[in-house]
């Protein structure tokens, strides 16, 4: 199936809703920093608000994802987006409020729509035939990386060129529009068979190696985004290049996602693909730490971006294979929380290391953390494979069942 066949009205409507709902998410951390940077201790307060926002996402995503009703998910998605829109609008309307009030609003803005990405992904895969799922998820990845490439420039331009509160107000309006757009989509998605809560939780827990690999992938993205400005200063390169270099990373990721969707069967299992690609991205980020020129850093970042998106796609497709259909939305939400935790952990590590080591060394330490997470995920995946192979062996037939078959054969002979 080609990408052209995804150009249906439901998929196009889904794309519009996704852009309106995810652009605020991509703009949020930087917008929160700009909102309060002119107050005393503004940059520290901005970092705290961004952390509160991310914590809201990480905590709420698995909790709300487990409660999504597959066949009637729309009211829950609408409620989540409405809460997010309220949080962003409150921040934009009251930028001078007490820091605790701002932190509460940021937490609310992050927590409310935390399960929406998982729900929308499950809805997207229900809008296309099974053979087109890889292309649909590749298209989603292209869209997502395009959003992340545009968000910093849009946020910076509005905050510095108009007013620091304007990005937050725009984010509230966009989330409100995504609420309206949801009514153009189906109310939910079909699930083959309902699992009880305990079975769903067990299935989600068994998939932990995939979540660890997801966290590993986002530690690399955090390294690229958060330490790059300091690394450029260390190399004597103008810090203004940081935006262009990160845009190259995002554009490379969008191209990589599109290329991955051109084939339905890449060599190796999905988990092996993810492992190899994450290690390749880690190599690219390590090169960023040691190359002396802006040109070399740009090439390394674009190459890492080209492989980052396929690694993420392979993880999500592996999760889809591993979980029962009724647990997919919850699984995508847990993955969302895991990658957010990986980003936050890497950012915290980077911030601490930059106080005691050079930026290039901090990046290499972060790559080491990624390698450790990959090792843990690969070990867990091997255990999963052994369990599945053991579960696939035919079980001995109960004695009573064999006797019934023998009695039936005798009756047929007599007839």
* Residue 302: C-alpha distances to residues 78, 194, 305, 310 (Å): 36, 43, 5, 13
Model confidence band, residue 195 (pLDDT cutoffs 50, 70, 90): low
Nearest to 28 by CA among 119, 114, 115, 123: 114
Backbone angles phi, psi at 136, to 5 degrees: -65, -45
**The CATH number of domain 192-391 is 3.40.800.10:** no
The reported pLDDT for the residue numbered 163 is 92
Q: Mapped to the 3 state alphabet, what secondary structure does 245-281 carry?
A: HHHHHHHHHHHHHHHHCCCCCCCCCHHHHHHHHHHHH
Euclidean distance between the first and final Cα of the chain, in Å? 53
Structure tokens at 16: 């519009």
Model confidence band, residue 393 (pLDDT cutoffs 50, 70, 90): very low
Domain 1-190 matches domain 192-391 at the CATH topology level: yes
Residue spans per domain, the chain: 1-190, 192-391
Is the separation of the CB atoms in 286 and 364 below 8 Å?
A: yes
The more confidently predicted of residues 29 and 405 is 29
User: HSE-up of 340 (CA within 13 Å, CB side)?
Assistant: 27
CA atoms of 222 and 371, how far apart (whole Å): 15
Structure tokens at 20: 């309106």
CA 196 to chain centroid? 26
The more confidently predicted of residues 398 and 1 is 1
The reported pLDDT for the residue numbered 403 is 39
Q: Is the Cα dihedral 32, 122, 119, 181 positive or negative?
A: positive
Structure tokens at 59: 């905590």
Report the range out of 21-25, 131-135, 231-235, 395-399 with the highest average pLDDT. Answer: 21-25
Model confidence band, residue 197 (pLDDT cutoffs 50, 70, 90): low
CA atoms of 256 and 276, how far apart (whole Å): 15
Model confidence band, residue 198 (pLDDT cutoffs 50, 70, 90): low
Nearest to 340 by CA among 145, 94, 88, 54: 54
The answer, yes or no, to whether residue 107 has pLDDT greater than 90, is: yes
What is the tens place of the pLDDT at every residue in 341-392? 887 777 777 777 777 888 888 888 888 888 888 888 888 877 776 766 665 4
Determine the average pLDDT of the residues in 313-335. Answer: 85
Is the separation of the CB atoms in 91 and 29 below 8 Å?
A: no
The answer, yes or no, to whether residue 74 has pLDDT greater than 60, is: yes
Is the separation of the CB atoms in 234 and 297 below 8 Å?
A: no
Model confidence band, residue 1 (pLDDT cutoffs 50, 70, 90): low
What is the tens place of the pLDDT at every residue in 241-289? 777 888 888 888 889 988 988 876 788 888 888 888 989 998 988 898 8
> What does the DSSP assignment read for 103-156?
HHHHHHHHHTTTTHHHHHHHHHHHHS-GGGHHHHHHHHHHHHHHHHHHHHHHHH
CATH of domain 1-190: 1.20.1250.20
Largest CA distance in the chain: 96
What is the tens place of the pLDDT at every residue in 172-192? 999 999 999 999 988 877 665
Share of residues in the chain with pLDDT > 90 (%): 24
The answer, yes or no, to whether residue 227 has pLDDT greater than 70, is: yes
CA atoms of 299 and 289, how far apart (whole Å): 13
What is the tens place of the pLDDT at every residue in 141-163? 889 888 888 888 888 889 888 99
The reported pLDDT for the residue numbered 415 is 39
Lowest mean per-residue pLDDT among 125-139, 313-327, 395-409: 395-409
């Amino acid at each position: 199936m080609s990408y052209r066949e995804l150009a249906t009205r439901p998929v196009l409507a889904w794309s519009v809703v996704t852009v309106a709902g995810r652009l605020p998410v991509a703009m949020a951390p930087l917008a929160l920093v700009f909102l309060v940077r002119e107050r005393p201790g503004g940059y520290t307060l901005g970092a705290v608000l961004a952390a509160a926002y991310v914590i809201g996402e990480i905590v709420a995503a698995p909790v709300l994802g487990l409660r999504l009703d597959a066949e009637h998910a729309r009211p829950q998605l609408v409620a989540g987006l409405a809460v997010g829109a309220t949080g962003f609008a409150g921040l934009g309307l009251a930028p001078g409020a007490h820091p605790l009030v701002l932190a509460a609003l940021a937490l609310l803005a992050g927590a409310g729509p935390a399960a929406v990405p998982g729900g929308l992904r499950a809805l997207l895969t229900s809008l296309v035939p099974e053979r087109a799922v890889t292309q649909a998820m590749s298209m989603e990845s292209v869209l997502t990386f395009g959003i992340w490439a545009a968000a910093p420039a849009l946020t910076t331009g509005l905050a510095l060129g108009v007013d620091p509160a304007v990005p937050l107000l725009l984010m509230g309006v966009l989330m409100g529009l995504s609420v309206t757009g949801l009514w153009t989509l189906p109310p939910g998605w079909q699930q083959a068979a309902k699992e009880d809560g305990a079975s769903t939780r067990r299935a989600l827990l068994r998939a932990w190696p995939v979540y660890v690999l997801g966290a590993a992938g986002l530690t690399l993205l955090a390294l690229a985004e958060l330490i790059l400005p300091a690394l450029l200063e260390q190399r004597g390169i103008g810090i203004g290049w940081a935006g262009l270099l990160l845009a190259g990373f995002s554009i490379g990721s969008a191209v990589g996602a599109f290329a991955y969707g051109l084939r339905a069967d890449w060599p190796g299992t999905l988990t092996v693909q993810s492992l190899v690609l994450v290690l390749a991205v880690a190599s690219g980020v390590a090169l960023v730490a040691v190359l002396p020129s802006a040109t070399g850093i740009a090439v390394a970042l674009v190459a890492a971006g080209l492989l980052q998106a396929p690694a993420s796609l392979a993880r999500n497709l592996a999760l889809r294979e591993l979980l029962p259909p009724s647990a997919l939305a919850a699984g995508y939400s847990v993955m969302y929380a895991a990658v957010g935790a990986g980003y936050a952990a890497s950012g915290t590590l980077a911030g601490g290391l930059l106080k005691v080591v050079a930026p290039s060394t901090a990046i290499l330490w972060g790559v080491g953390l990624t390698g450790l997470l990959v090792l843990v995920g690969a070990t867990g995946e091997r255990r999963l494979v052994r369990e599945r192979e053991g579960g696939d062996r035919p079980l001995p037939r109960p004695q009573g069942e064999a006797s019934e078959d023998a009695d039936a054969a005798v009756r047929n002979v007599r007839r």
